[in-house]
Structure 1
Amino acid sequence: MTSNAGGSREAAHDGPFVERAGDLTVSGRMRGVGASPHAVESPLIVALHGGTYSSAYFDVPGYSLIDHAGALGLPIIALDRPGYGETTPLTPENATVAGNAERLDAILGEVWKRHGAGRSGLFLVGHSIGGAIAVSIAARRPAWPLVGIAVSGVGLVTPPESLDHWSALPQIPMIDLPAEVKDQVMFGPEWTFAPDMPSRSHVADAPVPRAELIDIVTTWHGSARDIASRVQVPVHYRQGEFDRLWITDADQVAGFGAAFSASPHVDAALYRCAGHCIDFHRLGLAFQLEQLAFALRSARLL
């Protein structure tokens, strides 16, 4: 990514992109980036998808965080994490939450240099493994101006059978989970999502690095509270009531929220009537508007 630190504005760009960030390739999709900000408090929003989805997770027609941010005049970039899309992969041993956080910290520095001129800072949205990575990036206290994070689909403890399930997967670097398997765990009861789901979400399906799945059910458990305690920016946290990938109840959500002990503001709550992928449920729009409103508030809280 070519530096734009001097503050000159480029033409607004919408749609998929592939760019260079030093020696790395980065892909994703963006909306309203390069457009003149409505106000100095307007942040640049960057979204990090979870495992088994690409950046298209945030741009499924009818459920698009990118569309909703664009309608509000908020610039947004959804990145393909390492190993997804055209983004340069990590080695299998480094395809972990910590490895992603280190790599993306550097990439986001380049994103800010190119696209941050005139913005109040960068706000991270992270879902599932992307949420754990967003927390880990914030805990690193990056050199670029992070103003807040919004995470969902991640918690403190996964069900005990999760490790057995993921460990039974083939010993290959990338796993392509069948859509019918994903549908069973990514969604709540049928009444929580519209008839066009889950099928509509499959446009965002992608192979996942096996190491990610193992890491999130092993290393993350022991380190989540410590990592969260080092975050010093505002935190918005939501966990779906019917999340089947995490042990989810009010006490777990409160416990994770309390772990952000150095944050100036934490808004943590159990999100009723939704499963793991809250965005794809009937209340997805309300959820995304909460995240976008929090991004605007965070730009004024620091």
Structure 2
Amino acid sequence: MMSQTALLNGRKFSFRANRAFSTRSDIPMIVALHGGAHSSAYFDIKGFSLLERAAALGILAIALDRPGYGDSEFRDEAELSHSANAAILDAAIGQILAKLGQRNRGVVLIGHSIGGAIALMIAGGKPAWPLLGVAVSGVGLRPHDEDIEAWQALPPDLFIDLPVALRNIKMFGEGGTYSEEGQRSIALASVPAPRQELIDIVMSWPSAAPDILTRIDAPIHYRQGEADALWTVNDQEIRRFAQACKSAAMIDACLLKNSGHAIDFHDLGPEFQLEQLAFALKCAT
């Protein structure tokens, strides 16, 4: 799908939307939030597109560029933080639902990596619009010590263009779980990332996450790749995440074998995306 722009809550946003059509009244609208160093194209690359899979099921899905990505507006550096992103996107999603989702029962948020953390922050803030559920991946509770040190040592630029070799290591991890096509395709969505959000994900998120997760009362779908190179990932960490979601109507948390950080672009991508879409339909019905 081609990138489009819209004015939402007085701000310019770029986004991608599928062309789904359904006559049912129990269909959710999906809003997908990309991770750091990737634009909304992450969810809409041929052969790996969540938006296309959603369209095949009659589900309206919109991938938003977060502030500072694509043509989505940010007014100062402070708006590139996680908390500011969550507030800005909360207001924008309410308008999207009012304009495009009148026939939809409500919203299911899908977030990857930093976009997952921000989706959980939105959910924990109890949005005024109907939130049916939240599905996240690639966001944990305990980053690797070396990544904390590396992110702290980033140059003081507003945006950071991460080297391709580093992107590939962090997004894919061990070989044998993805194709060369997957690694080439994700590069089509790769862009510089705001430095502030890279700092936030290792410095602010781990301490804030338990309280945020406790406040979420919507159903939660959580997946982490076993070979995730950005987070400490094991069965104990998955349980710790699930146990923090004390108020959630339902928590489905699972460790995925044979996958790294960017699950959508691994061999398990189609199965993973269909799980997320099945969760969205379940939340709506």
Distance 2:110 2:238 in 1: 18
Matched, 1:188 2:173: yes
Letter in 2 for 1:133: I
TM-score by length of 1: 0.92
Hey, what does 2:138 align to over in structure 1?
153
In the TM superposition, residue 21 of structure 1 has moved relative to its aligned partner by 1.1
Q: After the TM superposition, which residues 11-50 of structure 1 pair with which residues of structure 2 at under 5 Å, given as runs?
A: 15-32=2-19, 35=21, 37-50=22-35
Asked whether the 8 Å contact 1:69–1:75 carries over to 2, the reply is yes
Whether 1:289 and 2:279 are equivalent positions in the alignment is no
For the pair 1:219 / 2:204, whether they are aligned, the reply is yes
Worse-matched range after superposition: 159-168 or 143-152:
159-168
Name the structure 2 match of 1:73. Answer: 58
* Deviation of the 1:57 alpha carbon: 0.3
Contact 1:83/1:90 (<8 A) preserved? no
Residues 67, 79 of structure 2: 8 Å contact kept: no
Q: CA deviation at 1:16?
A: 2.0
Aligned to 2:84: 99
CA distance in 2, matches of 1:182, 1:231: 31
How many residues get paired? 285
Q: In terms of mean alpha carbon deviation, does 55-64 or 159-168 score higher?
A: 159-168
Q: Would you say the 8 A contact 2:220–2:248 is kept in 1? A: yes
1:272 correspondence with 2:272? no
Q: What corresponds to 1:83 in structure 2?
A: 68
Q: Which letter maps to 2:242?
A: G
Shift of 1:90: 5.0
Asked whether 1:246 is paired with 2:231, we answer yes
Counterpart secondary structure, 1:217:
helix
Q: Distance in 1 between matches of 2:165 and 2:187?
A: 10
CA RMSD of aligned residues (A): 1.1
How many Å apart are 1:38 and its aligned residue?
A: 3.0
* Structure-2 separation of matches of 1:169 and 1:195: 29
The question of whether the paired residues in 2 share the 8 Å contact of 1:15 and 1:31 is answered with: no
1:258 to 243, 252, 256: 243
Q: Deviations over 1:213-272 (max 9, x none)?
A: 001101111110100000010000000000010000010011111111101100000011
Q: Which amino acid aligns with 2:133?
A: G
Which structure 1 residue ranges, 4+ long, deviate > 6 Å from structure 2? none
Aligned: 1:208 with 2:202:
no
2:113 maps to amino acid? S
Report the CA distance between 1:61 and its aligned residue: 1.2
**Higher mean displacement: 216-225 or 49-58:** 216-225
2:161 aligned residue:
176
SS at match of 1:190: coil
Secondary structure of the corresponding residue to residue 18 of structure 2 = strand
Cα-to-partner distance string for 1:10-42 (whole Å, 9 max, x where unaligned):
xxxx63210111320010100026x4x331110
